[in-house]
Structure 1
Amino acid sequence: MDIMGHDSRRQKKKFATMKSVGTKLIPFLKTFCIYFVLWLPTSNPSWFSALIKCLPVLCLGFFVLAHSISLGVHRPYAKKVLVALLFSALGDVFLTWGDQGFFIHGMLMFGISHLLYTWAFGLRPLRLWIALMLLLLGVIYYVAVYSYLRGPMIYAMAGYVVVLGLMSWRALARAACSSYDRTWGRSCTAVGAVIFIMSDLLLAIDRFCFTVPHARAIVMSTYYGAQMLISLSIVEQSEPEMFWKQN
């Protein structure tokens, strides 16, 4: 057996994959930079500012679609991630007019997106201790912000904390597996989920509790980063995961 030749082919294949992924991510990276260069004011929302805001996420949807087309296979996991990204982009549009009464609509779109991510991540391995840990953190956070909430937002925030916790539980549980089953794709979803939590918590604190310096820049950069990491997870999936999802 030519072990050296086999390793060489693996390295070439890995390099080709990285090059292909990097090329498909260029539209996302460009629109990410455009958003921060233009830095359109949120006090005067328009369809143009909504487009600039959701373009990076739409480009991640293009990345997922382009990668699936290049493989010639549209896996269920990638389809769910793609639809979740589209709902996230719609949530961005609603949040552009958040001060005009559409903030809850945006939360609903992101809630659906998190449920789709949860569906994509699956329920194996279960890792209930992670769920209990996130539940405790969610309760602590909700109690801390409860006094600042008014009207329907009291219930909307509770629901959003639950679905965000569900998504994060499944993402972290997939990464907390044996070394044999662990892949960098699963690690991407776990890190992406943690960053998503940080981004959303900071957004809520800045909006409902007190002003956080440079909150918008931190929230948007972490939000785009989290979406990118979750999108990257479509590139690599373990064989055991694909087996149980197909049977």
Structure 2
Amino acid sequence: MDIMDHDAKRGKKVFATIKSIAPMLVPFLSAFCAYFVLWLPTADPSPFSALVKCLPVLCLGFFVLVQAFSLGALRPYSRKVLLGLVFSALGDVFLTWGDRGYFIHGMVMFGITHLVYTSAFGLRPLKPWIALSLLVLGTLFYAGVYSYLAGPMVYAMAGYTLVLLAMSWRAMARASCPGYIWSWGRGCVLAGAAIFIVSDLLLAIDRFCLPLPHARYVVMATYYIAQMLITLSVADHSDRDRFWKRS
């Protein structure tokens, strides 16, 4: 009975948290919809199209700041997520002109994003078997696209794949720690990392290997959703995350 009461209280707390943060997602959802409604052509990039593309991510940064204001402080975890969103927005700007020689610049910005997220997620528990499993999958992916790459992209893709896998490793390790209370925030991080992999995988296949039907729709939708899920984790980040420093 005590366990049931505890679960009921946890459920109510999660529901109350989601209810309180839902209004703060309105700017993001509006910008998300605006991107797909406007659907500006990529062949003729402009500062306005760059703004429309990165606006959903900037709105997620606004969400982090509002959340921090409500708590009275911008905690280290939230600060790192915010920094990752800033680099993501810069990456979006560069990728707007990706066909004009700035694609690698965008990859660098997103590579930094993944490194910042990796730092936010922490290195404990280590869970090396997750890293090894992801490394095997990443190697298979890189071997599949290698023949389609040329010049600096050969090395850029290898580096980007490694940092993306590192971020995903830390997200999965956080979510799989035994003996510790599962939280919806860690679930969001895990789902966000997984969806980020799907988004980047489809982008790489479409750009370097073969064109995929409706690729831009799927890539951008999964990208925004992944960023939203990772950002939502700041609302669940609390003092109990000190566990990761003590472990």
TM range (shorter): over 0.9
TM-superposed CA distance for 1:18, in Å, is: 2.0
Please provide the CA RMSD for this pair. Answer: 2.3
Residue 130 of structure 2 contacts residue 169 of structure 2 at CA under 8 Å; is this kept in 1?
A: yes
- Per the alignment, do residues 210 and 245 of structure 1 end up closer, same or farther by CA in structure 2, a change over 3 Å counting? same
Separation in 2, partners of 1:19, 1:39: 31
| Aligned: 1:58 with 2:41 | no
Q: Which residue of 2 aligns with 1:77?
A: 77
Cα deviation digits, residues 81-108 of structure 1 (max 9, x gap): 0000000000000000000000000000
Amino acid at match of 1:88: S
Please report how far the alpha carbon of residue 174 of structure 1 lies from its aligned counterpart in structure 2 after TM superposition: 0.5
TM-score normalised per structure 2: 0.93
Alpha-carbon separation, structure 1, partners of 2:62 and 2:145: 36
Kindly tell me: are residues 232 and 156 of structure 1, through their superposed partners in 2, closer, same or farther at Cα, counting changes over 3 Å? same
In the TM superposition, residue 178 of structure 1 has moved relative to its aligned partner by 2.0
| Structure 1 position 236, deviation (Å) | 1.0
Partner of 1:134: 134
CA–CA distance in 2 between the matches of 1:25 and 1:7? Answer: 27
- Specify the code of the residue in structure 2 equivalent to 1:160: Y
What amino acid does structure 2 have at the position aligned with 1:37?
V
In structure 2, relative to structure 1, the CA distance for the partners of 1:39 and 1:8 (3 Å cut) is same
Q: How far did 1:39 drift?
A: 0.4
User: What's the secondary structure of 2:235's corresponding residue?
Assistant: coil
Matched residue SS, 1:233: helix
- Contact 1:181 1:238 (8 Å CA) reproduced: no
Q: Does the Cα contact within 8 Å between 1:53 and 1:92 map onto a contact in 2?
A: yes
Aligned to 2:87: 87
**Pairs within 5 Å for 1:146-165:** 146-165=146-165
**Counterparts of 2:176 and 2:9, CA distance in 1:** 30
Q: Which residue of 1 aligns with 2:145?
A: 145
- Structure 1 residue 21 and structure 2 residue 21: aligned? yes
Deviations 1:39-62, CA, capped at 9 Å, x for gaps:
001011000000000000000000
Check the 8 A contact 1:183/1:237 in 2, yes or no: no
2:115 alignment partner AA? L
How far 1:181 moved relative to its partner? 3.0
What is the CA–CA distance in structure 2 between the aligned matches of 1:104 and 1:220, rounded to whole Å? 18
1:202 corresponds in structure 2 to 202
Q: Deviations over 1:174-227 (max 9, x none)?
A: 011125332111111111001000000100100000000000000000000000
> 1:243 and 1:43, CA in 2 relative to 1: closer, same or farther beyond 3 A?
same
Instruction: Quote the offset at 1:19 in angstroms.
Output: 2.3
What's the counterpart of residue 44 of structure 2?
44
Q: Is the 8 A contact 2:77 2:234 kept in 1?
A: yes
C-alpha separation in 2, matches of 1:136 and 1:190: 19
How does the TM-score come out when normalised to structure 1? 0.93
In percent, how many aligned pairs have the same letter? 67
Q: Unaligned regions of 5+ residues in structure 2, if any?
A: none
Are residues 1:186 and 2:186 paired?
Answer: yes
**Residue 234 of structure 2 corresponds to which residue in structure 1?**
234
More divergent stretch after superposition (200-209 vs 237-246): 237-246
Structure 1 stretches of 4+ with a deviation exceeding 6 A read 3-12
Return 5+ residue gaps in structure 1 as ranges. none
